[in-house]
Chain A
């Protein structure tokens, strides 16, 4: 399967379709994967593809605006392309998507790749990328969609318990903003946390500021989060951010029957206004 990716990638470089192919290579721990920007055929030979390839490489398209680029995408990652095309961040014809069908990826952190599927994979409903220009099949037993078990557990907690739970989580946030940096939907030229005038939220690492940071981050991604799970994967102190994202995704899906990034045509609920919504409000 990786041979198919390599030969397609070489073809794209050689015929000048793209200048760079973004794929995966083995990391220095010998176990996990890391992104590889390949500009030459020799570099392409380092590509790998397996269930440790967790990163959402489509996020890097934001760094390569206007430059013809091919990118290896799993189904969840592929939604990024639709999201970013729809939000006028990238041009579809500058992107060549090498889609990979996906049986699910595992929890992989420095030095260890477990057998455990990532939470996003357990709840993922896509087996084939939502958008691709070339498709390869990653072998493996497919995970089945089991709803949102963690979320369902949260729903049984009282508001008081939930508040206590989140206060405990946010307490250890070091406000590195890595969850924002990795996110394909977080591309504001100046993020609200970095704005000086007006100061929406201070730089202090303390409960009130941390809560504001987390709530606005999550809300700004409601109806836009494509559930790639990257924010939770990168968080150095293990804050379960996907619980917030999935809660909001479920609310948006329930209210508007919409999940972002599945196609590039359906307009997101926050970008359209329907007269009936006003009626419903009354």
Chain B
């Protein structure tokens, strides 16, 4: 037997949570563009959204965010943290995006944790939607998840005739479902789609071997270093900080930043450690396939969502890069088999 929620019952459950004070963040169409937004009412959710243009990281790690405000008053200095003390549901995450959240957790929750991120993360439940179709640019099964994988989620929904099969994937999820009113039904789940499989095994070693290869320069020729790939990506987490002074107060603001931006690696004195187009281009992929796995337990820092593939204006395609590295690597540094 499975627990079943009709479309209406699902929306009613979400509206109930919302009326109880929970913020519901879900895919909606903003002027025709699929984006995660806080929804005023559940019927505004785009339940059929496949992969949103910008990833759901927008909620846990906002595009820009005040960390704290300081104020000088009557001879003393007050520091007020910008806290989030509510509850939130991040709704409609496909398994790749759930993996994306996990891959953000890895650096942000490692001690010493990022306070603002931890606060939002702990107060947010992840409600996922398994995939009944995949897009040509999807490659989740090459990076440790799959179209029906509930890992890293709290609740998993699967679309069936007339509604959704709902399953708790954690205690937090079970608690969240307490207010849902599912029916018990004998239902069989649809066969998940099979995204393209890429040769990701052994990638960090290959990358290291090809670190100084001419490949990066040729790839960088057409890159316009536009930041889009980083900004739409669920696992790119670089940021910049600035202070906004105003009279007796100052705000510390954090905003997204990208390794492709001018000046990202410019040091005091003017030296740029990633000054060439090639070094810049390599940085994004080295972060995902070399530095991150070397630092954090061999995990690749990519969720296979394909957003960067779709959004890059000059078709720099991470799937092609993975295959190319394999090809060049096998011919120049051996297959890696012992």
Residues of A within 8 A of B (CB): 27-29, 32, 34-37, 55, 59-60, 63, 110-111, 168-169, 172, 174-178, 181-182, 190-191, 194, 199, 202-206, 230, 233-234, 236-238
Is B194 in the interface zone, CB < 8 Å from A?
no
Closest residue of chain B to A182 (Cβ to Cβ) is B224
CB-based contact A234/B313 at 8 Å? yes
Instruction: Contact check, A59 vs B136: say whether CB atoms are below 8 A apart.
Output: no
CA distance A234 to B29 in the complex (A): 19
CB distance from A179 to the nearest CB of B (A): 8
CB neighbours of A182 from chain B (8 A): 224, 226, 313
Q: How far is the CB of B214 from chain A (nearest CB, A)?
A: 11
A117-B63 Cα distance, complex, nearest whole Å:
33
Give, as a whole number of angstroms, the nearest-CB distance from A72 to chain B. 13
B332 at the interface (CB under 8 A from A): no
In the complex, 18 of the A-B residue pairs with CB atoms within 8 angstroms, ordered by the A residue number, are: A28-B319, A55-B313, A110-B311, A174-B256, A175-B256, A177-B226, A178-B228, A181-B224, A182-B313, A190-B262, A202-B242, A203-B64, A203-B255, A204-B255, A236-B232, A237-B30, A237-B33, A237-B54
In the bound assembly, the distance between CA atoms of A178 and B64 in angstroms comes to: 17
Nearest CB of chain A from residue B173's CB, rounded to whole Å:
30
| Interface bits B210-226 vs A (CB < 8 Å: 1, else 0) | 00000000100110111
In the bound complex, residues from chain B placing their C-beta under 8 Å from that of A205 are 63-64, 255-256
Contact A34-B310, Cβ < 8 Å, known A176-B231, A204-B255: no
In the bound complex, CA of A28 to CA of B31 (Å): 28
B178 interfacial by beta-carbon distance below 8 Å: no
Q: Which of A32, A63, A178 contacts B315 (CB 8 A)?
A: A32
A-B contact count (CB 8 A): 114
Cβ of B206 < 8 Å from any Cβ of A? no
**Which A residue sits closest to B222, measured CB to CB?**
A35
Given A110-B137, A110-B310, A236-B232, answer yes or no on A177-B31 (Cβ-Cβ < 8 Å). no
Inter-chain CA distance A75–B320, complex, in Å, is: 32
Taken together as a complex, chains A and B put the C-alpha atoms of A205 and B218 apart, in Å, by 33
Task: Tell me if A206 and B64 are in contact (CB < 8 A).
Answer: yes
Given contacts A28-B317, A28-B320, A236-B231, contact A194 B262 (CB under 8 A): yes
- Residues in A with CB closer than 8 Å to B232 are 236
| A176 x B227 contact (CB < 8 A) | yes
B53 close to A202 (CB less than 8 A): no
B31 touches A238 (CB 8 A): yes
> Chain B residues with Cβ under 8 A from A175's Cβ?
63, 255-256
A204-B30 in contact given A35-B314, A110-B137, A182-B313 (Cβ < 8 Å): no
Asked if residues A37 and B221 are in contact (CB atoms below 8 Å), the reply is yes
B106 within 8 A of A: no
Given A29-B136, A55-B314, A174-B231, decide whether A204 and B31 contact each other with a Cβ distance below 8 A.
no
Specify which chain A residues have a CB less than 8 angstroms from the CB of B310 in the assembled complex: 110-111
* Contacting pair B240 A203 (CB below 8 A): yes
Interface size on B, residues (CB 8 A): 42
Chain B residues whose C-beta falls within 8 Å of the C-beta of A59 in the assembled complex:
224
A36 to B240, CA, bound (A): 33
Q: Which of B171-213 contact A (CB under 8 A)?
A: none
Is B296 located at the chain interface by the 8 A CB criterion? no
B263 interface residue, CB < 8 Å from A?
Answer: yes
Partner of A178 from B31, B53, B227 at Cβ < 8 Å? B227
Chain A contacts of B222 at CB under 8 A?
34-37, 60
CA distance A109 to B314 in the complex (A): 10
- Chain A residues whose C-beta falls within 8 Å of the C-beta of B263 in the assembled complex: 190, 194
Residue B269 at the chain A interface, CB threshold 8 Å:
no
B261 within 8 A of A: yes
Check A238 against B33 for contact (C-beta < 8 Å).
yes
Asked if B35 CB lies within 8 Å of chain A CBs, one says yes
Please indicate the chain B residues that have their CB under 8 angstroms from the CB of A237 in the complex: 30, 33, 35, 53-54
B315 touches A172 (CB 8 A): no
Contact: B218 with A172, CB < 8 Å? no
Contacts of B160 in A (CB 8 A): none
Chain B residue contacts of A34, Cβ below 8 A: 222, 314-315
Partner among B31, B35, B218, B262 whose Cβ is within 8 Å of the Cβ of A191: B262
A236 contacts B224, C-beta separation under 8 Å? no
A205–B65 Cα distance when bound, in Å, is 8
Which 7 pairs, one residue from A and one from B, show the smallest C-beta to C-beta distance?
A: A178-B226, A34-B315, A234-B313, A181-B226, A27-B315, A205-B64, A37-B221
Compute how far the CA of A36 lies from the CA of B218 in the bound complex, rounded to whole angstroms: 10
Query: B84 at interface (Cβ–Cβ under 8 A)?
Result: no
B263 to nearest A CB, angstroms? 6
In contact, B315 and A236 (Cβ under 8 angstroms): no
Q: Which A residues are in CB contact (< 8 Å) with B32?
A: 238
A233 touches B313 (CB 8 A): yes
B136 with A236: CB separation less than 8 A = no
Bound: A55/B277 CA distance, A: 19
Are B317 and A174 in touch, CB under 8 angstroms?
A: no
B100 to chain A, nearest CB (A): 17
Q: Which chain A positions have C-beta within 8 A of B255?
A: 175, 203-205
Question: Which B residues touch A194, using CB under 8 A?
Answer: 261-263
Flag B56-91 by CB within 8 Å of A: 1 or 0 each.
000000011000000000000000000000000000
